[in-house]
Structure 1
Amino acid sequence: MCFGLTKRGGEIVSESEWQEFVKTVITPRFREGLTVLDGLWQFFNNSGILIIEKSNIVILIYKNSPEKTKSIHKIIGSYKRSFQQESVLRTTSKVKISF
């Protein structure tokens, strides 16, 4: 998932706000672990304006289930409400992993 860090009014999601979100919203739903990467993404918003902003990319590896899908939807909804976001980018793919 790609979480944009610019709020609607131009204010930036602070590092402490982001860390608190990860700690209280994402981690409890994905105790198996996750990876957070810094990113820069661009897109056209609903008004057709090109937006380029810093973002945090969260990689989750999990066994697909309705419960995990519901958890992801809750994470996205919470982020959009908390930080005035139009959207959160989500991509999914099947992978094989081993340790």
Structure 2
Amino acid sequence: MSRAVSSCLMLALLVPAVAGCATSGIPVQSSISSCEAGDQSMVRDTLYFGHNRPNGGRVREAEWRQFLNEVITPRFPDGLTVVKATGQWRNASGHIEQEASQVVTILHAGDPTARGKISEVMAEYQQRFDQEAVLRERTATCARF
């Protein structure tokens, strides 16, 4: 989202199931000992893209659509889920700020290439829309298509 939302402390408060934030290249550790027959072991990244800009403006719907089409979809053409949301966080001055957001969930193999693409998406959003951070949740999961 826009600022301090990316801190591990905030993430731990928002999502109690998350044990901590990994910043190394170590693969996500799963609490799932093994997937059921027919399931695939995958990584689920959930990204939170806040729409408030530091100057008081907002990321417009057309700008978001263009970002989704030009940046996210080409990196993850097999599929993803986008949900509109409203988030809130405490900014550096202690004020609670609410903002419209887009939540994007992507399932992938968890390999260095896919993880790198997630990092590229986050960095591009931050640069393009003058954002301090994009919140990312990463969990191991089992999936069946």
Bin of the TM-score, shorter chain as denominator length: over 0.9
Give the strand-richer structure, 1 or 2.
Answer: 2
* Corresponding residue SS for 2:107: coil
Compute the displacement of 1:32 (Å).
Answer: 1.1
Percent identical = 35
The answer to whether structure 1 residue 44 and structure 2 residue 90 are counterparts is: yes
Q: Structure 2: where are the runs of 5+ without partners?
A: 1-46
Q: Is the 8 A contact 1:40 1:52 kept in 2?
A: yes
Q: Which amino acid aligns with 1:6?
A: N
Q: Please, what is the CA RMSD of the aligned residues?
A: 1.0
Q: Structure 1: where are the runs of 5+ without partners?
A: none
Compute the displacement of 1:36 (Å).
Answer: 0.4
Q: Looking at CA atoms only, which structure, 1 or 2, has the larger radius of gyration? A: 2
How far apart, in 1, do the equivalents of 2:142 and 2:92 lie?
Answer: 36
Between 1:45-54 and 1:9-18, the stretch displaced more is 45-54
TM-score when scaled to structure 1? 0.93
For CA contacts below 8 A with separation 6 or more, give which structure has more relative contact order.
2
TM-score when scaled to structure 2? 0.65
Moved over 3 A (4+): none
Partner of 1:70: 116
Aligned residues: 99
